[in-house]
Amino acid sequence: MINNKKRLLSLVAVFSAIELILAILVQITDGALNKTVSFLVVILACAFVALFYAKTKEYYLTQIALVGTVFADLFLVVLDNGTRELAMVFFSITQICYFLRLYFGHTSKRERQIHLILRGIAIVTAMIATIIVLKEKTDFLSLISLFYYANLIINVVYAFVQVKKSLIFALGLVLFTLCDLFIGFGVLGSSYLALEQGTLWYWLAHPGINLAWLFYVPSQALLALSLLKTKLNELK
């Protein structure tokens, strides 16, 4: 257990430097090495949160969320053999944990009720839009993916509503959203819709560099660090 502020900040600097190195390696490696480096990004972020241990809902939900991310990337990045559905189930669990972190952060019953209503509307709208756009191509993967993304978007909104509690958390979710935007267009272009070359939509699906992980690596680092402010206050 870390009980010294200076030591904690030193470890944060080391963690950030390692994640930066991994972010570079993700872009310049390929094959099995790339999978290993990519998976190390989420493993490290998940393990690093142990430094902020506290008997609070915020801590437990954040830790479970990052564990969910590890399992999601195990199926999506490491195994990558028809396991996208399982990956999205775990990513959904991750966003549900972040939702609960935000939900318990509200200070009134009315705020919680409004939050639930808006989230419900977003999820239902996403499901209906998926069915309308994809029609007969609608499947479990598309539905669970939009369920996940709707929750992520609402999480971003409420993270900024509660931004005074943790700006790092809000920024981490924004980067998470940008990552999934590029992944989503890639899946959409390869599995569901024909995207015409030369259009913005085609570029979003085939940007030429790994833009998804350009956003994903810092998102996981920031989400892991989102408990730093609470821990520093505890050490005062």
- Give residue 224's pLDDT: 96
Band (134; pLDDT cuts 50, 70, 90): confident
Average pLDDT over residues 206-224: 86
Average pLDDT over residues 83-88: 88
Does the structure show a pLDDT above 80 at 1?
Answer: no
Share of the chain above pLDDT 90, in %: 64
How big is the chain by its Cα radius of gyration, in Å? 18
* DSSP string for residues in 141-153: HHHHHHHHHHHHH
Q: CA 111 to CA 7: how far, in whole Å?
A: 38
- Give residue 181's pLDDT: 82
- Give residue 197's pLDDT: 65
- Give residue 236's pLDDT: 66
Q: CA 38 to CA 77: how far, in whole Å?
A: 8
pLDDT tens-digit map of 173-186: 999 999 988 777 66
Enter the pTM of the model.
Answer: 0.89
User: Among the residues of 51-108, which ranges form H helices?
Assistant: 57-73, 84-103
Instruction: Answer for the pair 191, 163: CB distance below 8 angstroms, yes or no.
Output: no
- Give residue 183's pLDDT: 78
- Give residue 5's pLDDT: 87
Average pLDDT over residues 35-63: 94
- Give residue 82's pLDDT: 64
